[in-house]
Amino acid sequence: MPAAPLHLDTPLFLTSADYSAASRPLWLKLDALQPAGSFKLRGVGRLCQHEVENGAKEIFCASGGNAGIAAAYAGRALGVPVTIVVPQTTSEEVRRSIAATGAAVLVHGSVFDEANAHAVNLAAERKAAYVHPFDHPLLWEGHGTLIDEVVARGAEFDCVVASVGGGGLLAGIVAGLKRNGLDNVPVIAVETEGAASFHASLAADERITLPAITSIANSLGARQVAQHVFDLPRHHPIESVTVTDAEAVAACLKFADAYRILVEPACGAALAVADTHPDLLARFKNPLIEVCGGIGVSLDKLKMWRERLL
């Protein structure tokens, strides 16, 4: 029998039709309530479990945030030491949260790519497992459990709205839809302007590397999406949209006031679509929004973003 997963089956509920400008009830999948604060534990937990079952004695992961917390949590649950390599841009607060979850934190490089290369090298040197934050088939398989849960609940939905960083979540949702026979259910892939590497790649029909990330939604800040993610629209209906940082923050504030739960702007981006692209959602009867969560948020941060952007 496979080991029990590390993530939780999260709540799912329907908003009232007047919650958004889309004027229809929205299914909200509350992955903000996962241990470690985001959907990331689904895939990272799956991958870490696999590695430990196959003999890994140690785990390395590069991350500026939620993937690192998820790997730290998974390592603790599985009883193996975890080292998270973060770039210098990762805030003191996030470093402390990762450390508090029980992982060692190593600061290396000025951007994610440098931290990541270092994590890959360390893992190879020490014959340890290396966990990528968004680019691995087992991560996608794990993230897909969010769709399994919605289907198991019998909830009917005819599109899925989710935010895109490196695209692991998007790949997982597509994998989940396919294994549940939902090949025709489109995914609306949301990025903030300034972190829109998927959007730019589709427009250029070529996998673009953004010169820089200029959005506050740092969990969406992959300068390039995974190759598999770039290829997905050829195999599944996917529409790419963008929102502004201000729109993402407004959606975080509205969601916090309505449901008393804080989420990062990376998650606010997906929530914002119902207000900023109502015509797009009006084509569907029962949109499902993945409330992906994130720990990079606090009352103080929301207040600061509101003052700066709204």
Ligand X SMILES: *Cc1c(COP(=O)(O)O)cnc(C)c1O
Chain positions contacting ligand X, by CB under 6 A: 38, 40, 66, 134, 163-170, 219-220, 222, 264, 266-267, 292-294
Of 102, 65, 64, the residue nearest 82 (C-alpha): 102
Minimum CB–partner distance for residue 95 and ligand X (Å) = 16
For ligand X, the closer of residues 75 and 268 by Cβ is 268
Structure tokens at 241: 């949209």
The dihedral formed by the CA atoms of 276, 265, 210 and 123, expressed in degrees to the nearest 10 = -150
Minimum CB–partner distance for residue 71 and ligand X (Å) = 12
Minimum CB–partner distance for residue 23 and ligand X (Å) = 26
- The owner of tokens 């499902």 is 288
For ligand X, the closer of residues 22 and 164 by Cβ is 164
In sequence order, the β-bridge partners of residue 61 are: 84, 131
For ligand X, the closer of residues 24 and 72 by Cβ is 72
H-helix or E-strand spanning residue 160: strand 159-163
For ligand X, the closer of residues 52 and 67 by Cβ is 67
Q: What is the DSSP string of 7-66?
A: S----EEEPPGGGSTT-S--EEEEGGGSTTSBTHHHHHHHHHHHHHHTT---EEEE-SSH
For ligand X, the closer of residues 15 and 66 by Cβ is 66
For ligand X, the closer of residues 45 and 167 by Cβ is 167
Minimum CB–partner distance for residue 163 and ligand X (Å) = 5
Minimum CB–partner distance for residue 169 and ligand X (Å) = 4
Of 229, 238, 165, the residue nearest 196 (C-alpha): 165
Residues 47 and 143: their CA atoms lie apart, in Å, by 10
Minimum CB–partner distance for residue 127 and ligand X (Å) = 27
Residues 35 and 153: their CA atoms lie apart, in Å, by 21
